[in-house]
Amino acid sequence: FGSRPANFGSKVRDVSIMKREREWADDSVAKRFVADRGVPRTACVLKALCTESVTGLFLRDKASVKDEVQQEAGVKLVFSEKGDCFPNTQFRVLGIYGDDVSNIMRALEMIVSRIADLGEEESVRPPQPGCELLGKEPSEYVFRLCLSTRLARILIGARGANVQKLRKDTGAKVFIENESLIGHRYCRVIGRTETIVQCLEQIANLVQVENAGEDFQFYYGLLNFGQAAANGIPNEPDLGGGCVGFSSWQPGGEVPEAAALSEAVKGFPEGTTDLPYSITCKLPSAVVPALIGKSGEFVKTVEDLTSTSIEFSPPEQDSMRSMSVVGPLLHCYYAHVTMMKKVFETEAREQERQERARRQAEAAEAAAAEAAAAQAQAEAEAEAEAEAQAQAEAEAEAEYQQEEGVFDGAPAPAEELPTSSEDVLKKMLELQRQLDELRSKVK
């Protein structure tokens, strides 16, 4: 919100606009809405709008380019159905879904690079009017996306402060249409490829910070706008441009405590809510890296969004760290709630990761036990087979020995020897006779 504090109640919007917004919320469109088919469940999303040339590049050749981006960036790319375009345009919606902003950004870098390649071909094959990928200045390209109406207003900021700062910080030209179409606004980012990527990184971080509530779920799940209109989902009434404050804290919102807080602040002496206040709490050291974000992007986005300053103390002996939020009163509360939401999301993801690891370990242990049981059974079967083989061999050997006159390995009984002198003499004469017969045969 730049240097201006958030303003609540009638100071921001008149009663008639607030009434119309409540009517839109009471219509429960987000509550009744069911996400489009093929939309995955991830923590982050950004929706690009693709010309026919960009869509064709990603889907031709069996969607080889799409598969390449998905695999390298770790995202899921989902296009709206053929012929279903963002309202009043010829652009199909591309949902970029990932578990972290870094995955979304890697995909966006690859997409922007391919848009630049296609833009260079426009000198040979001019596109239809309004579908240009080349900007008016040299080396300028056009990236199109859509944001929810609420995100678009936050991106614009009070009197355009946020979008002006975004343009100044990144060098990109950012244009956001005033008309809301089924809860969305059409946006264009124009500049060199590197400036477009820098600008999209800040927008992606904004979407991640605001990824709660039915408004985000509606943004997350809607790709087929034509089908949504056919199903009777109405356009959100045009509530005017600019920043509308933190919608969850407005009277008539879904959080009674937040509405009560907003009402209570109205009783403060004028100007006192704009003074610097501080909220300090202790957090587990393990969650702080997620609150800071890659290169400090997350905490910086929250600071810019809420006009606060957020600092973390060094780790303490009990593995805790203090977080201090300093800024205007309601800004401090909003920044604190946003950071705590990130804490709960981080802890939920960690618990999910641990549960997944536990299930995998149990599955691996069960598989190992099953393999061990199978191995033991195989060894028992092999041992039984070996015993049967040995038994068969033993039986065959016994049968063979029986045929040869040998039993149980004992030699055949020897001829009985003579015992008396007369028997010995007879035996000697018999042997002499046999010897003489052999000699005669030899001769």
Q: Which domains does the chain have, with CATH numbers?
A: 44-231 (3.30.310.210), 272-380 (3.30.1370.10)
Residue 428: is its pLDDT beyond 90? no
Residue 401: is its pLDDT beyond 80? no
The reported pTM is: 0.56
Residue 14: is its pLDDT beyond 50? no
Residue 288: is its pLDDT beyond 70? yes
Task: Specify the 3-state DSSP secondary structure of 170.
Answer: helix
Among residues 45, 132, 128, the alpha carbon closest in space to that of 94 is found at 45
Tell me the C-alpha distance between 46 and 332, whole Å.
Answer: 27
Pairing of strands 141-148, 309-312: unpaired
> SS3 string of 419-430?
CCHHHHHHHHHH
Is residue 25 very low, low, confident or very high in pLDDT (cuts 50, 70, 90)?
A: very low
Q: What residue type is assigned to position 106 of the chain?
A: R
What is the reported pLDDT for 187? 96
**CB atoms near residue 35 (< 10 Å):** 14
Phi-psi region of 271 (alpha: psi -120 to 50; beta: other; left: phi over 0): left
What is the reported pLDDT for 336? 92
Tell me the C-alpha distance between 334 and 340, whole Å.
Answer: 10
Is residue 265 very low, low, confident or very high in pLDDT (cuts 50, 70, 90)?
A: confident
- Distant-in-sequence, close-in-space partners of 293: CB < 8 Å, separation ≥ 6: 101, 205, 299, 300, 301
Average pLDDT value for residue range 185-200:
95
Tens of pLDDT, residues 213-234: 667 888 889 999 999 888 877 7
Tell me the C-alpha distance between 26 and 422, whole Å.
Answer: 138
Average pLDDT value for residue range 42-69:
94
Average pLDDT value for residue range 182-211:
91
Q: Percent of the chain having pLDDT more than 90?
A: 38
Do 225 and 93 meet the contact criterion of CB atoms below 8 Å apart?
A: yes
Tell me the C-alpha distance between 422 and 431, whole Å.
Answer: 14
